[in-house]
């Protein structure tokens, strides 16, 4: 494992633990016969609807666009709201507790040394107050179809995500892992990521956090901030998010 000072936003510096790429490729050959973990708990903070009407729906889409674009002003603001809420929300505070490590979930593209949305989100979450280490122990071995722009039937399955991920054993002790992603829809990516990390960290407490929770069937969005604590389950051959 090696550390590197990265600078996703001007004026900020954060030590991020990286895995040696050669070790990563040797450590995890694809294994589609191994099922994912049966469930993983998650928390989310904001809500978004791709088709809701009115001010709330439009605002949720604008927020999602800013996050996807890694806006250097808005992304820290959104992360700061999560931190301030954790000062009263015990479950949220417990998720980002001392001793946890943030693991950003790779995007759909094959992972390179370049930054991506979940990595920058993990950085700002740490910097706004949580002050947790970031470990890039999970990568994409190959690209998968981007769910946000794909037809429903063409979106990657849990097993496709699982097979595309690679992980490597951590050199430092990792007792609490918090997977970090920008948006959760069904939860396939987070469930697959948890399963892949479980293969190298069998005793770790693996949980997940997504900044935004999709409300695909909502006709109206009344409040953008709707903290949620739920679970993603493996059910009927697919991921099921509750709520």
Q: What domains are defined for the chain?
A: 2-242 (3.40.50)
Give the pLDDT score at 188: 96
Is 135 in a helix, a strand, or coil? strand
Q: In what helix (H) or strand (E) does residue 161 lie, and over which residues does it extend?
A: helix 158-164
Written as six digits, the tokens of 242 are 């509750």
**In which residue ranges of the chain is pLDDT below 70?**
1-15, 17-36
Give the pLDDT score at 154: 84
Where do the H-state alpha helices sit in 21-154?
A: 21-27, 54-68, 74-86, 90-95, 117-125
The answer to whether 124 touches 156, Cβ cutoff 8 Å, is no
> Does the pTM exceed 0.75?
yes
Helices (H) and strands (E) in the chain, counts: 7, 11
Question: For residue 36, what is the DSSP state?
Answer: P
Give the pLDDT score at 36: 54
Give the pLDDT score at 35: 52
């Amino acid at each position: 494992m090696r550390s590197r000072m990265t600078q996703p936003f001007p004026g900020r510096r954060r030590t991020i633990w990286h895995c040696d790429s050669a070790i990563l490729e040797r450590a995890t050959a694809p294994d589609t016969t191994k099922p994912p973990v049966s469930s993983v708990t998650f928390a989310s903070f904001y809500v978004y609807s791709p088709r809701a009407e009115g001010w709330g729906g439009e605002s949720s889409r604008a927020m999602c666009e800013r996050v996807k674009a890694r806006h250097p002003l808005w992304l820290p603001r959104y992360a700061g709201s999560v931190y301030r809420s954790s000062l009263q929300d015990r479950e949220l505070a417990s998720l980002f507790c001392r001793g946890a490590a943030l693991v950003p979930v790779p995007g759909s593209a094959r992972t390179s040394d370049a930054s991506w949305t979940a990595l920058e989100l993990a950085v700002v979450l740490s910097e706004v107050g949580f002050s947790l280490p970031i470990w890039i122990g999970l990568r994409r071995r190959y690209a998968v179809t981007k769910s946000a722009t794909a037809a429903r039937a063409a979106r990657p399955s849990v097993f496709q995500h699982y097979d595309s991920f690679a992980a490597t054993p951590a050199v430092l002790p990792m007792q609490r892992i918090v997977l970090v992603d920008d948006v959760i829809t069904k939860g396939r990516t987070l469930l697959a990521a948890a399963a892949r990390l479980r293969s190298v960290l069998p005793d770790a407490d693996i949980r997940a956090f997504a900044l935004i929770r999709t409300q695909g069937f909502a006709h109206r969005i009344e409040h953008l901030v709707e903290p949620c604590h739920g679970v993603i389950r493996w059910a009927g051959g697919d991921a099921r998010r509750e709520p």
